[in-house]
Amino acid sequence: MAGISYSGLVTSIRNYTEVDSNVLTTDVLENIILNAQYRIMRDVPIDADRKITQDNLVANQEHANLPAGALFVRAVQVADSTADFNNPIFLQKRDVTFLDEFNGARATGRPKYYAMKGGATGNTNTTSGAILLSPIPNATYVFKVHYNAMPATLEASNTTNFISINFPNGLLYAALVETYGYLKGPADMLALYEQKYKEEVQKFANEQVGRRRRDDYTDGTVRIPVASANP
């Protein structure tokens, strides 16, 4: 199997640090591995976490609930009907203060702007993370939300995920940084794995937000400069 499993990562962390399960207990390592995954997730927006969901707006309701697990919204579209997503437009993102000023009279109509309210959501749709709309919808328009979702984390009950399979070295280095921080040293090893992580996450970012977002036809092939010898 490509990549690394949860149990394999646990074993590797203990082997690299030469610290056994009396200190690096299962509970401690579970938290270390979770923190490492959150770091990678926030350092690089991963294509595998991109989602699209579709629903209907509620007439005279100024907000739409964020999809379950949404971390951040990339775009919002609104269309007239669900049959063929007829006449869609992308809404313009603004701050909440702009919407308050623009729609002080609480005018209704087809939404043109949206703003974010609240933070990331949990496992169910919730108004704690909502998309505010202006003008307030005057009909049950259909809308699509393009967003990044919280991925399934690597843990004892979920032995592999996208990061563990496709970025195992970066996950290991990020976990080792967390581990040496927990163990309070040695500082040189902490610095070593921090540097290794930064080198690998840069390559991963080049893939996720670089090569995967490019097209040879529209963008041209990537050309890497090669230094020539001095004459």
For residue 230, is it within any domain? no
Question: Nearest CA to 12 among 152, 157, 164?
Answer: 164
Domain check: are 34 and 121 in the same one?
A: no
Say if residue 72 is in the same domain as residue 87. Answer: yes
CB 130 within 8 A of CB 67: no
Mark which of 103, 131, 149 sits at the end of a domain.
149
pTM of the full structure: 0.80
Query: Does residue 220 form part of some domain?
Result: no
Is the separation of the CB atoms in 164 and 2 below 8 Å?
no
How is residue 217 written in tokens?
């036809």
Whether residues 62 and 104 fall in one domain: yes
What's residue 222's pLDDT? 63
Question: Is residue 227 a part of any domain in this protein?
Answer: no
Domain ends where: 106, 129, 149?
149
E-assigned strands of 29-141? Answer: 50-56, 63-66, 70-79, 89-90, 92-93, 108-109, 113-118, 126-134, 136-137
Expressed as residue numbers, the domain containing 163 is 6-46+152-213
Give the mean model confidence (pLDDT) for residues 70-89: 84
- Contact between 22 and 29 (Cβ < 8 Å): no
Q: For residue range 101-144, what is the model confidence (pLDDT) as tens digits?
A: 887 778 899 999 999 987 555 554 554 578 999 999 999 999 99
User: What is the C-alpha end-to-end distance of the chain, expressed in Å?
Assistant: 49
Q: At which of 95, 122, 149 does a domain end?
A: 149
Number of domains into which the chain is organized: 2
